[in-house]
Structure 1
Amino acid sequence: MPARASAQDGTHPRPQLQREEWTDLCGTWQLAFDDDRGGIGGGWADLTDLGDRAVFDRDVTVPFPPESEASGVADPGPHPVFWYRRSLRLADVAGADAVRERGHRVVLRFAAVDYAARVWLDGTLLGEHEGGQTPFSFDVTALLAAGDADAEHVLVVRAEDDPRDVTQPRGKQDWLDEPHSIWYSRTSGIWQPVWCEVVPPVAVEHLAWTPDVAGSAVHLGLTLREPPAEPVTVAVRLEFDGQLLAEHRVRVAEQRTRTTVAVPALENGQARQDMTWSPETPRLVDAVVRVLAGDGDGEVLDEVGSYLGLRTAAVGGRAFLLNGLPYYVRSVLGQGYWPTSHLAAPDAGALRREVELIKELGFNAVRVHQKVEDPRFLYWCDRLGVLVWGETANAFAFTPEAVRRLTTEWLDVVHRDVSHPCIVTWVPMNESWGVHDVATDPAQQAYTVALAALTRAVDPSRPVVSNDGWEHTDSDVWTVHDYADTGAVLAERYGSAELLTALEEFWPAGRRVLLPGAVDREQPLMLTEFGGVRFTPVPPHEVPEERTWGYSTATDAEDFARRLEDLLSAVHASPVLAGFCYTQLTDTMQEANGLLDEWREPKLPVERLREIVTGRRER
C-alpha cells in the first residue's frame, strides 16, 4: 500500500497521485540554442551520439531555465528555441523489472516545459505539447525496453518559447530583451521536474476529488491511462486521522468514470467541524485507489495514493464563505520567482518554506500572480493551510490564436489542480491583460464571460473571477486593484457601505470596476491588489534606480512600518471589504515592494509584520 499521501515529504512531482516508485530525470542535460530555427531541418533530433558536442555544446541543470544562474547557463537571450539531450537506460528506471516480467509500461512525464515541446527518443518522435504551465507524458516502453536493459537510449526535447509572440500566455515574462517596468526575465524550456514512472497496463492516470459536505459524500472523477480491455473494479478507501472513513467499489468499463463515495460520518452535522479543512485546521483525508481485475476478487492491477480535503468554497451575502461560514481573506500577492532560478523553485524545500513564510506573516491566503504554481507548492498549502487563488499567466494580445491558446491551457490547469482543497477561487484573467479593450469591445467582453462560464462548467465547486482588478463582466467576487498611497484615501473609498450600490461608477484606477451588463448578485468585494510600498533596507544609492520599482517609497524601516500600518489599518476598518491581497510577498527583480527581500529575508521583524497584517488580531 502507498504511504500516506498527506504526510509525504513534498518531493514527488504529482502529490495527489503517487505510486511507490518513480525516477527523477532532473540533473545535467546537454543543451543547444537554435536561434535560426534550423534544428529540425538539420536533423538535431537524430543526433544520438552523446559524445558529439558540436551542436549540443553546453550543459544545463534541469529543471532550471537556461536564462537562470541555477541552470549553469545564465544566458538571458533572447533565444526562441532550445534543444535538450540526455541518456536514458531502462536499468536506471525504478521498477523496471516489471516491464519485462509483467508487461508494465514506462511513462515519461514532464511537469512543465515553456512553451511548446517536441520530444524524441532515439530519433523517433514521441509527440508534442503546447502550453508552458501544464504537464504531459509519453509511453516510451517500446523503445526503452527494446534490447538490453543496460542499453543507452537518447532523449531529445525541443522547446520553443518565442519572446516576441504575445499570443502566448506570458504572464510576467518580458517580451523585450531586458526586464522593464513590472516584467521579469524569462523562464524558458524545462522548468519543472522530468521523471519516469513504471505503471501497469491498466493504470490510474488522473483523480478529481470533489467534496460534497452537505451530501455526506465525495465525488470522484477517475481516468485510466487507457480503456480496459475487460471491465475492472475500482476500490476506493478513505482514511481520516488513521481511521477508516469510507470504502467504495465501482465497476469500470470505460476510460473515464464518475462515482460517488458516501461518507456517513459527515451526516452528523455537529461533528463535521472536526473533519473539515481550513487554514486554521488543515485536515486532510488520505485515499488509496486500487484497480482490481474482474469483479474485484482477483489481482490488484494498480494502486495509487492520494489525498483530499473536506471543505466548501462559495460566496453569499457580500461574504466569502468557507465551509458555509463568512471567512475574511487576508491574502498576499506572490510572484513565485527566485533570483537564481526564476519561475522554477530552487528546490522542493523552497516551496515549503514559501508557504511557511506566508503563514508566519499572518496571511491565510496567497494569490500566485500570473503563474500556475508547482503542484508541490499546492501540496504544502493543502497540508499547512493556506488558501490559494488559482491564477494563470495571460497573453498580451486579443486574437483568435491567443483565445485558443489561453482557453486550452486554462482547461488543462483546472484539470490538473481541481482536487487541491487549498484552491478556493479560479482567476483566468487579470487586469484586462490580453483584453485591453474589453470596456468597449463586445468580442472581448464575450470572451471574459465565456471563459468564466466555461470554468464553472468544468468546476462548479468554486467561485470564478472573470477579470481580476477591474472591468468585471461576470465574476463571483468583485475585485479591485487600488494603489492609493495613504490609508486616508483607502478609508474614503472603502469606508462606507454606500460603495456597494455605486460599483458601476467606481473608477479607482482609472478603469471602471463593473462593466455595463455585469449583474450584482450581492458578490463580496475584495481589494485584491494594494500597497506595493517600496523599501530597500540598504541605502538607496547602493541599489540602481531601475531595480527599485514601487507604488510609493519608504525612507527607512520606521517609515516602512508606518506606511504599512496606515494602509492595512484602513483596509481592516472597511465595512464593505470581505478580504484583501497585499502587494507583495517578496522583492522580485526590479520590484522592491516586498515585505521580504528577494532572498526571503523580512524587512521588518516577522512579529511586527504579523501584527500589521492581522490588525493585531486573528480574524
Structure 2
Amino acid sequence: MKKKLFFALAFLLFCLSSFGQQSLIQNIASRNNLSLNGRWNYIIDPYENGFYDYRREAYDESKSKTGGYYDDKRNVDKSELIEFNFDKAPTLKVPGNWNSQEEKLSFYEGTVWYRKLFNAKPLRGKRYILYFAAANYESHVYLNGKKLGMHKGGFTPFQFEVTSLLKAGENSVVVKADNTRKKEEIPTNSTDWWNYGGITRDVLLAELPETYIHDYQVQLAKSYSSTIEGFIQLNGATKAQEVMINIPELALTFAVNTDDKGYAMIKQPVNNLTYWSPVNPKLYQVKITSGIDEVNDKIGFRTIETKGKDILLNGKSVFLRGISLHDENPLILGRPRSEGDLKMLLTWAKELNCNFVRLAHYPHNEEMVRLADEMGLLVWGEAPVYWTIARENPNTYNNAQSQLSDLIAISPSWKNSKKVIFFTNGSCPSV
C-alpha cells in the first residue's frame, strides 16, 4: 500500500523546537560582507564533460581530484590550447536565472558552470564564509580548484567555511549548477512553475571574528505577554562568555552568559511592549553583541495560537484574507531582480486588503519575509513537496524533511520573523 503524503500545517514555535540547532549562519545581511554579485563567466555542459571522465567517474572523486572545469585552467602562453576557457566565455548576471538572460537557454535543463574571479585580503584572526542565498537545483561549489561541497534544493541558502582556502589576491569560485528535474527529487519532475536554472539569489563572502554570533532567536514567550525568550549560539567559543542584548526603544539592555559551548538561553521580562499586527506592524531594533561581534535585527513581537477552529493573533481571533504568490515578477520574465520587485508584489496584496500571503510553492527570497514584516502581512511558508512525488523512495522523504527544516530553522528571516504563522510540507498531494 502506498504511503500517504503527510500534509502538515505546523505553527512556528512547535516547528522550531522539533528541528533544533542548525549549521547555517543567521542574518547574513547584518555581517561584514563582500558581494560576489555581478557578471559571472559561464560554460554550458549538457553532457557534463567538465564533471565526469569518459568512464562517467567524477573528476573531483579521482585520486588527483583534478581534471574538471573547476580547475579553471588559464593560458600560460598563446600556443597552449585550452578547450574550455572561462576567460573567453560569455557572462550571466548573478543573481539571476539563465532562462531569461540568454534565448538559447530559455528551455535548457542541465548543467551550466559559473566562474567568478574576486580579490580578497584575508586577515589573521578572521574567519570567512562563502554564502549562497539560492541556486537551482544541485550545486557543486569549488574555490581555487578545491571542492567545498554539494547542495540540493533550489530555494534555500547554503554556505561553506573557506578560511583555509581563501588566498590573498585573486581567487576563483566555480559553481556547477544543474536544474535537471527528477521524479525522486523535491520538487519532482512535474510542477506548475517554470524551472529556472542558475544562481538565482545573492552570493556573499562574510568576514567574521574567530568567535562569532552564529545563531539566535528572540521572540515573545508563549503564554507570557510581557516576557521575551530565545537563545544565543556562538561559533568558535572555547569558554563561557557574556552576550549583551539591547532593545533601545524599550530602554532594555541585559546580559546572558553562555556555557563553554557558546550556548545561552534568553528569558527577560519587558514592559510597555507594542505587539506586531497587520494593522500596526511594529518592529523593534535588536542588537546582540559578543566580544567584537555584533548583529543587528528588526523583530516584531506577537503571540500566535489556535483555539478550536480559530487562529488567535495576540489573543484575538483573526480572519485570514490573502492571496498566493510565486517568486516571480509578472512584468519581467524571471525571478524578482530587486527589493522593488518584491515590494511591488506585496503592495498589490495590501491594495487587495490582504492581511496574509501564501508564498507558494517553495521558500521565497528571505527579503520577501522581511518586507512582509514591515508591511503588515502574515506569511504562509512552503517546502516544494508538490504533486506526484516518489512516495516509495525514502530518500525523497529525507529530502523533503531537510528542505522544510532549512525553510524553518535556517533562513534567518523565516526563523526570527514571527509573522510566519504556519508552514506546509505538501501542496496539492494525491493521497
Paired letter, 2:140: R
Report SS of the residue matched to 1:404.
helix
Residues 17, 207 of structure 1: 8 Å contact kept: no
Q: In structure 2, list runs of 5 or more residues that go unmatched.
A: 1-24, 53-66, 77-81
Alpha-carbon separation, structure 2, partners of 1:139 and 1:411: 21
Report SS of the residue matched to 1:190.
coil
Alpha-carbon separation, structure 1, partners of 2:73 and 2:269: 54
Structure 2 match to 1:306 = 297
Residues 30, 297 of structure 2: 8 Å contact kept: no
Alpha-carbon separation, structure 2, partners of 1:263 and 1:18: 28
Paired letter, 1:374: N
Equivalent position to 1:196, from 186, 197, 205: 205
- 1:223 maps to 2:222: no
RMSD (Å), alpha carbons:
2.4
Paired letter, 2:50: G
Residues 31, 83 of structure 1: 8 Å contact kept: yes
Residues 111, 192 of structure 1: 8 Å contact kept: yes
Equivalent position to 2:322, from 318, 331, 353: 331
- 1:374 maps to 2:365: yes
Report SS of the residue matched to 1:283.
coil
Alpha-carbon separation, structure 2, partners of 1:62 and 1:73: 17
C-alpha change, 1:73 and 1:192, in structure 2 (3 Å) is farther
Equivalent position to 2:378, from 387, 395, 401: 387
Structure 1 match to 2:428 = 431
Structure 2 match to 1:421 = 418
For 1:75-224, list aligned pairs within 5 A: 75-91=105-121, 99-100=123-124, 103-145=125-167, 149=168, 151-163=169-181, 165-170=182-187, 175=189, 183-212=192-221, 214-215=223-224, 216-224=226-234
C-alpha change, 1:19 and 1:388, in structure 2 (3 Å) is closer
Per-residue CA deviation, residues 16-58 of structure 1 (Å, 9 max, x unaligned), is 4543632211110011122112212351111243996835432
Alpha-carbon separation, structure 1, partners of 2:234 and 2:333: 35
Alpha-carbon separation, structure 1, partners of 2:173 and 2:398: 30
Alpha-carbon separation, structure 2, partners of 1:324 and 1:74: 54
Paired letter, 2:428: E
Structure 2 match to 1:47 = 72
Paired letter, 1:83: W
TM-score, with structure 2 as normaliser: 0.81
Residue 210 of structure 1, CA deviation: 3.1
Q: In structure 1, list runs of 5 or more residues that go unmatched.
A: 1-13, 177-181, 266-270, 292-299, 439-619
Residue 420 of structure 1, CA deviation: 0.8
Residue 246 of structure 1, CA deviation: 4.5
Per-residue CA deviation, residues 434-479 of structure 1 (Å, 9 max, x unaligned), is xx2x2xxxxxxxxxxxxxxxxxxxxxxxxxxxxxxxxxxxxxxxxx
Alpha-carbon separation, structure 2, partners of 1:55 and 1:339: 36
Residue 187 of structure 1, CA deviation: 1.4
Alpha-carbon separation, structure 2, partners of 1:129 and 1:50: 31
User: Bigger radius of gyration, 1 or 2?
Assistant: 1
For 1:461-610, list aligned pairs within 5 A: none
Residues 34, 79 of structure 1: 8 Å contact kept: no
Higher helix share: 1
Structure 2 match to 1:316 = 307
Structure 2 match to 1:284 = 283
Residue-pair matches, total: 379
Paired letter, 1:406: A
Residues 391, 427 of structure 1: 8 Å contact kept: yes
Residue 428 of structure 1, CA deviation: 1.4
Structure 2 match to 1:23 = 34
Residues 76, 186 of structure 1: 8 Å contact kept: no
Residue 376 of structure 1, CA deviation: 0.5
Structure 2 match to 1:37 = 48
For 1:228-267, list aligned pairs within 5 A: 228-239=237-248, 242-255=249-262, 257-265=263-271
Report SS of the residue matched to 2:329.
coil
Structure 2 match to 1:400 = 394
Report SS of the residue matched to 2:92.
strand
Residue 386 of structure 1, CA deviation: 0.4
Report SS of the residue matched to 2:340.
helix
Residue 203 of structure 1, CA deviation: 0.9
Structure 2 match to 1:64 = 96
Residue 422 of structure 1, CA deviation: 1.8
Paired letter, 1:192: R
C-alpha change, 1:201 and 1:133, in structure 2 (3 Å) is same
Paired letter, 2:292: L
Residues 99, 334 of structure 2: 8 Å contact kept: no
Which shifted more, 215-224 or 406-415?
215-224
Per-residue CA deviation, residues 166-187 of structure 1 (Å, 9 max, x unaligned), is 222227xxx47xxxxx723211
C-alpha change, 1:73 and 1:61, in structure 2 (3 Å) is farther
Per-residue CA deviation, residues 125-164 of structure 1 (Å, 9 max, x unaligned), is 122222222111122222223xxx4x2111101122212x
Structure 1 match to 2:64 = none
Per-residue CA deviation, residues 50-82 of structure 1 (Å, 9 max, x unaligned), is 9968354321111111112xx356612332222
Alpha-carbon separation, structure 2, partners of 1:17 and 1:213: 27
TM-score, with structure 1 as normaliser: 0.58
Residue 196 of structure 1, CA deviation: 1.2
Report SS of the residue matched to 1:153.
strand
Alpha-carbon separation, structure 2, partners of 1:17 and 1:329: 31
Structure 2 match to 1:441 = none
Report SS of the residue matched to 2:211.
coil
Residues 234, 252 of structure 1: 8 Å contact kept: no
Report SS of the residue matched to 2:395.
helix
Identity fraction in percent: 23
Alpha-carbon separation, structure 2, partners of 1:72 and 1:223: 43
Report SS of the residue matched to 1:252.
coil
